[in-house]
Homo-oligomer: A and B are copies of this chain.
Amino acid sequence: MIFTQKLQQAWATSNSMLTVGLDPDPQRFPAELQGRSDAIFEFCRAIIDVTAPYACAIKPQIAYFSAQRAEDQLEALCNYILEHHPGLPIVLDAKRGDIGSTAEQYAREAFERYQADAVTVSPYMGFDTLEPYLSWKSKGVIILCRTSNTGGSDLQFIESADGTPLYLHVASLAAEKWNTSGQCALVVGATFPEEIARVRARVGDMPLLIPGIGAQGGDIPATVKAGRNSQGTGMMINSSRAILYASGGDNWREAAAQAARATRDAINAAR
């Protein structure tokens, strides 16, 4: 199924715009998983099972797997999601960006090896570095626009002569030039609601992936009011650590489910 359709169905089915981010840090795993060779898989699998009813997407962050030599566990997780939660889109958070011949390889990594429904990419190298992902017609390409970290303004706030900051140039390029096939989405951080609104004003109903709530401190009501599209949806609002590590005790599964449900409900209350 095409990513954007799968996402729309997930918004409706789960009545949720929450995306659960998988940033598995073995040092923070519960005691029962410590020392197991498949701890990353088992931790993430449990998180997925208990949070899936409250989520519109799952976003594994590949760095956490690569640093642990755990690509095989990420593959197994993606297979698991496809088998047991087939309606849940997989967003591979990789923020890739390289020339076309290399981007073809990264696209194979994301879409063939991990079977992701969408991948995050960097716009710094321009459109020809995004085309290899877009040639996978059923897949989503989620482009960094305004990021949630403090240093995000170093480049993204540089203004052109007419006063337009770089991140709005990216939004306009994505909406007006790059999104010819409806596969594009943008990353806009929840830490800057007024900038989410400026991006939304430029991109129509395009989906936005919004990190920065939870551990990074973004405000949910302000984020939702700024980011919703004309359908009242249009967002993948990501929470990672606040859900994964909601409890370090024996009740970690229940605590994660509760955190996901509460976040989903807080998002819906602000719609």
Contacts and interface: CB of A to CB of B under 8 A. Distances in A.
Interface residues of A, number: 53
Interface string A198-215: 000000000000010000
Contacts of A106: 63, 66-67
A128 B126 CA distance: 23
B122 A67 contact: no
Nearest to A241: B101
Interface in A46-68: 61, 63-64, 66-67
A155 B171 CA distance: 12
A57 to B, nearest CB: 18
A169 interface: yes
A45 interface: no
A98 B155 contact: no
A132 to B, nearest CB: 10
A180 interface: no
A44 interface: no
Given A95-B96, A95-B97, A155-B169, A123 B125 contact: no
A70 B226 CA distance: 43
A109 interface: yes
Contacts of A166: 155, 158, 166
Interface in A19-45: 23
A159 B160 contact: yes
Contact of A97 (B64, B108, B122, B159): B122
A151 B169 contact: no
A122 B154 CA distance: 12
A269 interface: no
Interface string A82-118: 0000000000010111111111011011001100000
A148 interface: yes
B154 A126 contact: yes
Interface of A: 23, 61, 63-64, 66-67, 69, 71, 93, 95-103, 105-106, 108-109, 112-113, 122-130, 144, 147-156, 158-161, 166, 169-170, 173, 211
15 contacts: A23-B101, A23-B102, A63-B109, A66-B71, A67-B109, A67-B112, A95-B96, A97-B122, A124-B155, A125-B144, A125-B152, A126-B156, A158-B169, A159-B160, A161-B161
Given A95-B98, A126-B156, A159-B160, 4 more contacts: A63-B102, A99-B147, A158-B158, A160-B161
